[in-house]
């Protein structure tokens, strides 16, 4: 691929002389034709040359214009978009289009990224973050996010999915940025603008399955394996016969996002559903790609895995038997805080919500480090080595899954219906010795729900999704009619943010609390210490109502976990550095004077 402007092995690959080489891996197909479409919809059909015995087909044309549309015709019968397409101007069923990312005029040459310890993730869904629902519409809001104290945008998956409405986890073409969001050109503009605003951008990518509609990888070759099953069907083939090109497909995709789109990191979706028994796990290989891009570009790049296994091997280096990812999500933190403050215990909240568990999860990331889990009916997890800092774990009190996978998508604001509790949850998140993730709108107590939505084309699949959600949530609603119809555009529209926190409202006070605590994470010495941390319940380690959190040598926080005023022990107290119940945050405590007791659900920080 000498002279190519990309390291991608397949797809429409541009060269400096203006030529383009199309390359497709399709070992299950005897012949492939390239169909080029001009502005008058006339088609030029070219037979692609088989490249050796590896199942690759190639064709090169000189002087190919950007935007040139094309299809692949498989065995003279089925016309398909390019599985490595970077742009689908008319969506999944339409033709692919040539894009040369190297021709974008970047202005971020001085951008070096954000250190791991400084990551504050802001998870957003492009389609509902703004009324317009596009990449470029996010740009005017970047200064407000920077002012809030966020350091990293985390985009829910943006690869091409069927229709115009989807969370992104039903993606069909992993290389193409969603056309209704603005396509690859819009994504380039967003990333460049974010870097100019001092914000990193990470992308949620799905390497455990492909979407259920309009996916045709099975027609091309052994992309899937029957050796394993995922909740979404057959697993992707990472270790069976023919898996080498499949691994290349995924590794090239990771490299493309990081290198050609200048993204600062990847969040790998549900890695517990990625199966690989080979000597080098695909997760380790993805991390090595990220390290290579970081080394060559001089940028800090981070790879984070979502896993519910409570397995420290995710973040341990290969020399210690791990995959070497930079960080992993810890659902235990969310489940503990949520169950404790809402009282919910059904489903996967079974076995969570005890106060002593909160003391544990504020010190270590896992409630279940090889302990018996009632929900799973077995022991779960493994302990984290003592020398692993808390910056290797991402925690939250809300995210797209925990909100959207409810019957109506109701947020913590509605579930708690108590500003003091909401402020306490905020303090638990931002005082924790882990990396915090905010779900869009939580910083001001967004009231609009975030329900599940989609825009599949097949009525049979749509009806299956409708009925499946009704069965799943039958015990959580009085009537199945309460569950929003995922395919109804009104469901999608209802998820759009209000982006409103009027001055004087509790919403404005909550946002101010987020802003102050995020500023403290940057400047208070104790908040910079991710290794020295401890927490316990007072006055009784098993049933106490006050949680004491210590970080480093200088930060001491006391959180009242009850709805009653609690007296601080003798020797504790003084002038607080912060109280969640100060009037500036919407509470009932003046901002000065000695504090010797805690108001209901109040958090006090002495530093």
* Residues taking part in catalysis: 269, 306
Angle subtended at Cα 25 by Cα 278 and Cα 204, rounded to the nearest 5 degrees: 60
DSSP assignment string, 345-406: -SGGGTT---HHHHHHHTTSS-S-SSEEETTTTEEE--PPPTTS-GGGEEEES--HHHHHTS
Q: Phi and psi dihedrals of 470, rounded to 5?
A: -65, -40
Query: Cα-flanking dihedrals φ and ψ of residue 245, to 5°?
Result: -65, -30
Other CB atoms closer than 10 Å to residue 3's CB: what's the count? 9
In the three-class reduction of DSSP (H, G, I as helix; E, B as strand; rest coil), residue 607 is classed as coil
Cα–Cα dist 409/411, whole Å: 6
Phi-psi region of 163 (alpha: psi -120 to 50; beta: other; left: phi over 0): left
Query: Omega into 539 within 30° of 0, i.e. cis?
Result: yes
Q: Which helix (H) or strand (E) holds 468?
A: helix 459-472
Residue 280 near residue 318 (C-beta atoms within 8 A):
no
Question: How many other CB atoms are found less than 10 A from the CB of residue 303?
Answer: 26
* Cα dihedral across residues 114, 116, 122, 124: positive or negative: positive
Q: Tokens standing for 142?
A: 């970047």
Q: Please report the beta strands in 212-283, taking only residues with DSSP state E, as ranges in sequence order.
A: 224-230, 233-236, 265-268
Using DSSP bridges, classify how beta strands 78-80 and 69-74 pair: parallel, antiparallel or unpaired: antiparallel
Buried-exposed string 504-532: b where 16+ CB fall within 10 A, e elsewhere: eebbbbbbbbbebbbebbeebebbbbbee
Residue 65: Cβ-neighbour burial (10 angstroms; 0-12, 13-18, 19+): exposed
């Amino acid at each position: 691929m000498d002279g190519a402007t990309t390291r991608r092995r397949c797809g429409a690959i541009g060269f400096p002389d203006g030529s383009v080489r199309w390359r497709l891996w399709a070992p299950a197909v005897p012949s492939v034709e390239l169909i080029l479409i001009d502005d008058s919809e006339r088609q030029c059909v070219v037979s692609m040359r088989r490249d050796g015995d590896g199942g690759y087909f190639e064709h090169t044309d000189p002087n190919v214009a950007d935007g040139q549309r094309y299809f692949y015709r498989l065995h003279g019968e089925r016309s398909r978009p390019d599985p490595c397409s970077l742009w689908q101007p008319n969506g999944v069923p339409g033709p692919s289009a040539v894009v040369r990312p190297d021709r974008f005029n970047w202005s971020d040459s001085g951008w070096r990224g954000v250190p791991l310890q400084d990551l504050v993730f802001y998870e957003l869904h492009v389609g509902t973050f703004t009324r317009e629902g596009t990449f470029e519409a996010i740009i005017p809001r970047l200064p407000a996010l920077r002012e809030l104290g966020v350091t990293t945008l985390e985009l829910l998956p943006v690869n091409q999915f069927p229709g115009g409405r989807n969370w992104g986890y039903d993606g069909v073409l992993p290389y193409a940025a969603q056309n209704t969001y603005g396509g690859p050109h819009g994504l380039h503009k967003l990333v460049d603008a974010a870097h100019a605003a001092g914000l990193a951008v990470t992308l949620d990518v799905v390497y455990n399955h492909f979407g259920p509609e309009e996916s045709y990888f099975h027609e091309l070759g052994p992309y899937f394996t029957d050796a394993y099953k995922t909740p979404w069907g057959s697993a992707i083939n990472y270790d069976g016969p023919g898996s080498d090109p499949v691994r290349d497909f995924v590794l090239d995709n990771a490299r493309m996002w990081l290198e050609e789109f200048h993204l600062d990191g990847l969040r790998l979706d549900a890695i517990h559903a990625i199966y690989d028994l080979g000597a080098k796990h695909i997760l380790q290989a993805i991390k090595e790609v990220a390290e290579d891009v970081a080394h060559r570009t001089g940028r800090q790049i981070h790879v984070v895995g979502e896993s519910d296994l409570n397995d420290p091997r995710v973040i341990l280096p290969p020399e210690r038997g791990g995959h070497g990812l930079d960080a992993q999500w810890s659902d235990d933190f969310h489940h503990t805080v949520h169950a404790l403050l809402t009282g919910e215990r059904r489903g996967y909240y079974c076995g969570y919500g005890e106060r002593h568990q909160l003391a544990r999860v504020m010190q270590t990331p896992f409630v279940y480090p090889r302990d018996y889990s009632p929900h799973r009916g077995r022991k779960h997890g493994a302990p984290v080595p003592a020398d692993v800092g808390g910056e290797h774990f991402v925690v939250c009190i809300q995210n797209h899954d925990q909100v959207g996978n409810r019957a109506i998508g109701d947020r913590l604001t509605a579930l708690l219906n108590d500003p003091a509790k909401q402020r306490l949850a905020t303090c638990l998140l931002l005082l924790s010795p882990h990396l915090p993730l905010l779900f869009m709108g939580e910083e001001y107590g967004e009231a609009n729900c975030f329900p599940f939505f989609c825009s599949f084309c097949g009525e049979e699949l749509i009806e299956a999704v409708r009925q499946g959600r009704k069965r799943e949530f039958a015990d959580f609603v009085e009537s199945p009619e309460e569950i929003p119809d995922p395919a109804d555009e009104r469901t999608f529209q209802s998820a759009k943010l209000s982006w409103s926190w009027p001055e004087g409202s509790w919403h404005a006070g909550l946002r101010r609390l987020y802003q102050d605590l995020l500023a403290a994470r940057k400047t208070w010495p104790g908040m910079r210490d991710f290794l020295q941390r401890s927490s316990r319940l007072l006055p009784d380690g098993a049933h106490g109502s006050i949680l004491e959190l210590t970080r480093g040598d200088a930060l001491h926080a006391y959180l009242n976990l009850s709805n009653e005023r609690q007296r601080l022990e003798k020797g504790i107290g003084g002038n607080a550095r912060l109280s969640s119940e100060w009037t500036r945050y919407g509470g009932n405590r003046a901002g000065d004077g000695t504090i010797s007791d805690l108001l209901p659900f109040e958090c006090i920080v002495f530093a």
